[in-house]
Amino acid sequence: MVAYIVRRMLHACVVVLLVSILIFIIIRLLPGDPIIMLLNQSTGVSFTAEQIEDLRHQFGLDKPIPVQYKDWILDVLRGDFGISIINRYNIGAEIAKKLPVTLCLGLTSFVIGLIIGPILGVISAVRRGKAVDTLVTIAANIGITAPQFWVGILLIFLFGLKLGWLPIYGYTLPWEDFVMSVKQSVMPVVVLAMFPVASSARQMRSSMIEVMHEDYIRTAWAKGLKEKAVIIRHAVKNSLIPVVTLQGLLLRNIVGGSVIVETVFVIPGMGKFMIDSMLAHDYTVVQACAFIMILVVVISNLIVDLSYGWLDPRIRYD
């Protein structure tokens, strides 16, 4: 078991390093020099060639790319994300402010998806063909296909503008003002959780239906167990295995969705930070944001992987 955990963690580290290299290369090799961008912004001031060289040197952009990457990753490992080329703030400090916001929203959505999705799936599978099943299936299909930004706008229109029940933008951390935080979280969390709830429900429904035809379920019936015991004790745990596998994908989706949700609801989190930096061509910031988000995805995937052993005893020893 310990060996397994260690191996998974090493694998996670390799993935993080590889992605960071990929992102670094994508950002450096494609057109769009951040220094030129910076100069384009400062209209009216003329720069001499020496000054440009100076700036390049200041940000280490005159070195070969592998060296640039080495310097960058070593700094990152020390917790230093550098300084924004364009706005000159400390990136690490900015991230420390914005990451908790995204984590709060994302985790809430993830937990909601993990709990409500499978419950809906079980209900749907057990009442297969009944009205509840049709309702859940249609809702799940809408949840999977509706564009997040659009649902966000619909919610804003309905609950924010028309009914005036909920604030339409901003975010407060729960330990600063809990009531406000909950009010501001409702709509973003609904949008972020929509896809995870829907996919988990669908997956749970189909794996429940499959599991209910397994031989060991027939054995459970033959033992004289009541319907509730057959479903809860025997079917649910086995049906959860593919749903747990799916969670890695859903986590990715939540992290990706935070970019959209934070833009729609004007929430000062990592997603909005990244989009704003992209629009400003502030690539050192984009790089740092991407790195942090990958870290979040990889760490949560690791947790999902490890929880697998509890569900499926057959994989514990490999």
Partner 1 sequence: MDELLRVENLHTVFRTDRGVVHAVRDISYEINESEIIGLVGESGCGKSISQMSVLQLIPTPPGKIVSGKALFDGVDLLKLGKHSDELSGIRGEKISMIFQEPMTSLNPAMTIAKQMSEVLIVHLNTQKREARERCVDMLAQVGIPDPGNRIDDYPHQLSGGMRQRVMVGMAMLCNPKLIIADEATTALDATIQAQLLELMYEMVRRYKTALVLVTHNLGVVARYAQRINVMYAGRIVESGTVREIWNETAHPYTKGLLKCMPKLGTALTPIHGKPPSLIGESVLCPFRPRCEERIALCDELPVGAPTHLGGSHSTACIRVTEGKGL
Partner 2 sequence: MTELKSDPAAVFAVEDDLLPPVNETRRFFRVLFSRKIVVFGAAIIFITIVCALFANGIAPFEPNKQDLKNVLAAPDFTHWLGTDAIGRDLLSRIIHGTRVALLIGVGTVVISAILGSVIGLVAGYASGFLQAIIMRATDALMALPPIMLALLISAILGGGVRGVMIAVAVSLLPGYIRLIAGQVLSLKENDYIMAERSMGASRTRIMFRHLLPNCMSPLIVQMTMMMGLAILTEASLSFLSLGIIPPTPAWGAMVYDGYRFLLRNPLLSIAPGLSIMLLVFAFNMVGDGLRDALDPRLRGAL
Task: Please tell me whether residue 313 binds partner 1 under the rule CB under 8 A.
Answer: yes
Q: At CA 182, angle to CA 115 and CA 248, rounded to 5?
A: 35
Q: In angstroms, rounded to a whole number, what is the distance separating the alpha carbons of residues 198 and 254?
A: 13
DSSP, residue by residue, 190-231: HHHHHHHHHHHHHHHHHHHHHHTTSHHHHHHHHTT--HHHII
Q: In angstroms, rounded to a whole number, what is the distance separating the alpha carbons of residues 71 and 69?
A: 5
Q: Segment 193-222, which members bind partner 1 (CB under 8 A)? A: 213-216, 218-222
If the CB atoms of residues 89 and 310 are measured against partner 1, the closer one turns out to be 310
Asked if residues 259 and 271 have their Cβ atoms less than 8 Å apart, the reply is yes
Q: In angstroms, rounded to a whole number, what is the distance separating the alpha carbons of residues 101 and 86?
A: 24
- Within the chain, strands assigned E span none
x/- mask, partner 1, residues 227-246, rule CB under 8 A, reads x-x---xx--xx--------
Task: Please tell me whether residue 176 binds partner 1 under the rule CB under 8 A.
Answer: no
x/- mask, partner 2, residues 160-189, rule CB under 8 A, reads -x----------------------------
If the CB atoms of residues 19 and 220 are measured against partner 1, the closer one turns out to be 220
If the CB atoms of residues 162 and 226 are measured against partner 1, the closer one turns out to be 226
DSSP state of 168: -
Q: Segment 4-23, which members bind partner 2 (CB under 8 A)? A: 14-16, 18-19, 22-23
Which spans of this chain sit near partner 2 (rule: CB under 8 A)? 14-16, 18-19, 22-23, 26-27, 30-32, 141-142, 144-150, 153-154, 156-157, 161, 252-253, 255-257, 259-260, 263, 274-275, 278-279, 281, 286, 290, 293-294, 297-298, 301
